[in-house]
Amino acid sequence: MNIECDFVWPESDNLDQYKAIFVPALYAAPDELLEKLKQYTANGGTLVATFKTAFANENVKVSHEMQPHILSNCFGISYQQFTFPKNTGLSGSIINGIAKGADEEAEAKVFMELLMPQEAEVLASYDHYNWKEYAAITKNHYRKGTAIYIGCMTDDNTLKAVLTEALNSAEVEIPEYSWPVIIRKGTNDLGKCVRYILNYSAEEQNVVYHGADGTELFSEESVQDGDTVTVLPWNVKIIEEV
């Protein structure tokens, strides 16, 4: 989705500089880190975590308290059971927002937690005769922030919809282009902004350039804001702003 990100260390003490933090399957973590993530959310951040997060401490000792450990109030949920999905679809507001004609059916895969919402809004539930009373994906407003919990492995379209919901909550601008077009930028030794337009596909991609006027470094051609840049298969264009 072309959202630039950092990898954050558990020891990092500057979490509040980030609009959103994504926590994928943080199975084992010390209480101090979980408290730090909880405080980050309370201060106004957007926290997104997946199943198997906050299940055990740093010594892999499973918590005897309500799951997810320490973060239950933050996410506004709890659970006592988990299982492996079989013929388990997903339904709910986040699923209804997915464009019709998507290649994949919305479904739970690999692993699922049977979430019991407390204060949280249910974005998706399990479409299954035995699990329909449980939530699959939830969203909670915790003090000044927002906490989204993904209780199962999902199909790609559902995951993208949830990430879009989270990024909108965090007021992160979502770029026009997404994979296979990847756009990155940085600053070179001359102090100039450099934009990289990468094509991760076997097809030619036409991308509208947005930025200050510059020069494409391979061809040495000038590029202006609004120009269409053609990137050959498995290739890259590098534009240095003037």
pLDDT digits (tens, 9 = 90+) for 87-142: 999 999 998 877 655 567 899 999 999 999 999 999 999 999 999 999 999 999 99
Element (H, E) at 38: helix 31-42
Which one has a higher pLDDT value, 65 or 3?
3
Confidence at residue 9, expressed as pLDDT on a 0 to 100 scale: 87
Only one residue has tokens 């926590």, namely 23
In this prediction, residue 51 carries a pLDDT of 94
C-alpha 233/C-alpha 200 separation (Å) is: 7
User: Model pTM?
Assistant: 0.85
Give the pLDDT confidence score for residue 148 in this predicted structure: 97
The mean pLDDT value for 188-212 works out to 94
| Average pLDDT value for residue range 189-197 | 94
Q: What is the pLDDT at residue 89?
A: 92
Measured from the Cβ of residue 176, the count of other Cβ atoms closer than 10 Å reads 11
Which tokens in the block code for residue 20?
Answer: 């959103």
Q: Is the pLDDT of residue 84 over 80?
A: yes
* Residue found under tokens 């997946």: 50
**99-113 pLDDT tens trace:** 655 567 899 999 999
